[in-house]
A = this chain, B = another copy of it.
Amino acid sequence: MNNEDKCDKFAAINELARRRGFFWQSYEIYGGVGGFVTYGPLGARLKQNIEAKLRELFVTKLGILEIESSVITPGKVFEASGHVNHFKEPMVECVTCNKRFRADHLLEEYAKKSCAETEKMDLEQIQKALKAHGVTCPECGCGFKNPQQFLTMFQTTIGPYSNAKGYGRPEAAQGIFVEFNRLYVMAREKLPFGVIQIGRALRNEISPRQGLIRLREFTIADLEFFFDPEEPDCCLLKDVENETLWIYLAPERQACSEKIVKVTAKDALAKQIICSEWQAFFMAMAKKLLTEIGVPAENQRFIEKLPWEKAHYATQCFDQEVYFDRWGWIEVSGHAYRTDYDLDCHTKASGADLRVYKEYPEPIEEEQLVVKPVMSKLGPIFKGEAKKVAHLLTKVSAQEVASALEKDGYYMAKNYKLLPEHVDVTHEKTVSRGKRFTPHVVEPSFGSDRLFYAALEYAYGLKDDRVVMSFPRAIAPIQLGVYPLVSKDGIAEKAREIYKQLLNEGFATELDEAGSIGRRYARADEAGIPLGITVDYDTLKDGTVTIRDRDSWQQVRSLIKDLPKILHSYFQGKTNFEDLGT
């Protein structure tokens, strides 16, 4: 690691991640494949702990339903959802070396266009911009063929028939929408309710980059919250209404102003900065999640998406962003108001009715204008065609017929002239007890791998020139290290006994017997183990151990028999390090 790299957290973290087994690029022995990473033992646990935190906040405490559906999805689903038409990125191919690139990324990198600008461009505009800025192939310097749209879903075939197209899902949301009718029954046919799915998703990126930021295979947490648009109030809002959100609004972004609005969830709604109460609630919860995995409030913000940046299904849309040392502000979660778009699409495409029935508080009486043919009059005039004329009347609005009769004195049903005496125009009362409607959806969607990288970057710190990974204790991959001071005189045996006891209590514990105690502490700090338990000669005499704090390097002394109780309390966040001993 040279000095230049040292200044860059991204490089330092990637080196640490490979060496200690947080993550690395997969398939290195075959030259590596872009966009795929392997989470090693420390990384897999950290990622699971972050996902557990997400479950704790959303599934357990809010009663959101969790499901698991398949990554491979039949083509029909993504045709109906609009993905087959819209899930594309502009691509260019070099005329000489035939390498392919994402055209918008080239413009961002070599023509200093913003992401907001390139997302607006069509293929023709992209081509012009590439020419205007003299952007050429980064590999060989030659020009490009005409840009084309590249479908960024992985495509495959399901079963033995080549026409049974399937896609790797680029999001977990559709797996929820297509099962809406069953899920509504499981929610006891009451709105509002939410369903979450945390699982693998696939995007066949043209040229993946930025480590964990843009992967071809990643873990997504999509939460679809269904509510009645006529009853949009959020019953949980008061729990978070005073949470301050930092928001970079669409008009400021378009004006290239840097102005950030700092506003409570409550005020954001009052000022109509956020349109939906549930969306504001989930944005506040998303801030809470990021804070709990270690990202300070001042390094989080929400940006309002510009009209052309929004996904094809969204009306109002915000991205939650975290500030990263190398990349600047990067999206970690998306907050889209998807309205009834998806359920409607699937209702239309599948023929299944994905609406719900709502009973009115009181039956509603409606007076309706009705036009009925008087057959005793129609028969003699139209003869064999009387029935046809009567049928034509059922196809037009009663209002239209009544107006024509009043205004012109007759109504033309196709070529048949109807006079007022040919029909009865009456007002009838109907009673409606309820109606069917499509619920609206607010969706918070988290990228688990980006949350993971945020946790790594904000845990990363140097103390006395050594790396200390200060993970919040709730997500630390290993909770406890056990260290015999020396390996003789029964001390190693005692340490192993304590180690087993702590394992049985359910703590993620590591026993480290190799090397000097200082080296073992350093290794533990690098792995982010919050507490170290050292077994020494006093342990054998008085049954006490030393507990060492990863961040302050302070030590206290406690009785072995108290460990389960005080450590559970510590990891539940109920006590501080100072309370663990003397």
What 0/1 pattern do residues 61 to 102 of A give for CB contact below 8 A with B? 100011111111110110000000000000100000000100
**Interface hit among A30-38, A126-134, A429-437:** A30-38
A156 touches B168 (CB 8 A): yes
Residue of B36, B41, B73, B182 touching A24 (CB-CB under 8 A): B182
B41 touches A66 (CB 8 A): yes
Which residues of B sit under 8 angstroms from A185, Cβ to Cβ?
A: 19, 21
Contacts A72-B154, A155-B156; A66 near B38 (Cβ below 8 A): no
Which residues of B sit under 8 angstroms from A202, Cβ to Cβ?
A: 71-72
B206 touches A159 (CB 8 A): yes
A30 touches B503 (CB 8 A): no
B41 touches A186 (CB 8 A): yes
B156 touches A26 (CB 8 A): no
- Which of the four size classes fits the interface of chain A? 35 or more
Tell me, yes or no, whether A341 is within 8 Å of chain B by CB.
no
User: Could you tell me which residues of chain A, from 132 to 173, have a CB within 8 Å of some CB in chain B?
Assistant: 150, 154-161, 166, 168
A350 touches B514 (CB 8 A): no
Q: Main secondary structure on chain A at its contact with chain B? A: mixed
Contacts A70-B217, A204-B159; A29 near B100 (Cβ below 8 A): no
What 0/1 pattern do residues 385 to 416 of A give for CB contact below 8 A with B? 00000000000000000000000000000000
B27 touches A41 (CB 8 A): no
**Most central of A30, A36, A100 by chain B CB within 10 Å:** A30
B44 touches A91 (CB 8 A): no
* Copies assembled: 2
Which residues of B sit under 8 angstroms from A34, Cβ to Cβ?
A: 159
Tell me, yes or no, whether A287 is within 8 Å of chain B by CB.
no
Contacts A44-B66, A68-B44, A74-B33; A216 near B158 (Cβ below 8 A): yes
Which residues of B sit under 8 angstroms from A288, Cβ to Cβ?
A: none
The docked-state distance in angstroms from the alpha carbon of A61 to that of B166 is 40
Closest to A511 in B: B63
Contacts A72-B217, A217-B71, A503-B61; A160 near B40 (Cβ below 8 A): no
The docked-state distance in angstroms from the alpha carbon of A161 to that of B186 is 44
What 0/1 pattern do residues 505 to 527 of A give for CB contact below 8 A with B? 01010000010000000000000
A350 touches B30 (CB 8 A): yes
How near does chain B come to A148, taking the closest CB pair, in angstroms?
10
A159 touches B503 (CB 8 A): no
The docked-state distance in angstroms from the alpha carbon of A41 to that of B160 is 32
Closest to A507 in B: B60
Closest to A34 in B: B159
Tell me, yes or no, whether A346 is within 8 Å of chain B by CB.
yes
The docked-state distance in angstroms from the alpha carbon of A560 to that of B72 is 47
What 0/1 pattern do residues 35 to 51 of A give for CB contact below 8 A with B? 11111110111010000
A36 touches B346 (CB 8 A): no
7 closest Cβ pairs, A-B complex: A29-B352, A41-B65, A29-B350, A39-B68, A100-B160, A38-B69, A21-B186
Extra A-B contacts (14), CB below 8 Å, given A38-B70, A72-B217: A20-B186, A21-B186, A24-B182, A27-B73, A28-B182, A29-B181, A30-B74, A30-B178, A30-B349, A37-B70, A43-B68, A60-B508, A61-B503, A160-B204
Can you report 27 A-B residue pairs in the complex whose CB atoms are below 8 A from each other? A21-B183, A24-B179, A26-B175, A26-B178, A28-B179, A29-B178, A29-B350, A29-B351, A30-B178, A30-B349, A33-B158, A36-B69, A36-B70, A37-B70, A38-B67, A38-B69, A41-B67, A41-B183, A47-B68, A72-B216, A72-B217, A91-B160, A100-B161, A154-B158, A155-B157, A158-B216, A200-B200
